Amino acid sequence: AQSVTQPDIHITVSEGASLELRCNYSYGATPYLFWYVQSPGQGLQLLLKYFSGDTLVQGIKGFEAEFKRSQSSFNLRKPSVHWSDAAEYFCAVAPGGYQKVTFGTGTKLQVIP
């Protein structure tokens, strides 16, 4: 069975600083990997996804993520954080299309001026 670990429950960064949110997964083969963002009181919005190919994936809102098979990681990055990026971020894994999905427990991002 697959699993996802987001080791950081809460992260605080200054506006304009760079950001990296960690995600480690456990699965026997290369899974489908996703990052979502949830603003307070809202549903989830897909930021980016990785299925295969180039291991550096570009997403919306200036986010990117890098798949590292050797480390079983799929960390989310942004070079310069904006106050509007304050939200909760979830990493997710699935064995393939139309399959069971497992989410991490989330990382809450706080952005300070």
Partner 1 sequence: EAQVTQNPRYLITVTGKKLTVTCSQNMNHEYMSWYRQDPGLGLRQIYYSMNVEVTDKGDVPEGYKVSRKEKRNFPLILESPSPNQTSLYFCASSFGQGPEAFFGQGTRLTVV
* Residues in contact with partner 1 by the rule CB under 8 A: 6, 9, 32, 34, 42-46, 49, 51, 90, 92, 94, 96-106
- Ramachandran region, residue 56 (left: φ > 0; alpha: ψ -120 to 50; beta: rest): beta
The distance of closest approach from Cβ of residue 104 to partner 1 in the complex, given in angstroms and rounded to an integer, is 6
- Judged by beta carbon, residue 81 or residue 93, the one nearer partner 1 is 93
- Judged by beta carbon, residue 21 or residue 92, the one nearer partner 1 is 92
- Judged by beta carbon, residue 17 or residue 46, the one nearer partner 1 is 46
CB atoms within 10 A of CB 100: 10
The distance of closest approach from Cβ of residue 26 to partner 1 in the complex, given in angstroms and rounded to an integer, is 14
- Judged by beta carbon, residue 46 or residue 112, the one nearer partner 1 is 46
Question: Considering Cα of 107, then 64, then 32, then 29, what sign does the dihedral take?
Answer: negative
CA-to-CA dists, residue 16 to 3, 29, 49, 72, 96, angstroms = 32, 37, 24, 28, 36
The distance of closest approach from Cβ of residue 85 to partner 1 in the complex, given in angstroms and rounded to an integer, is 19
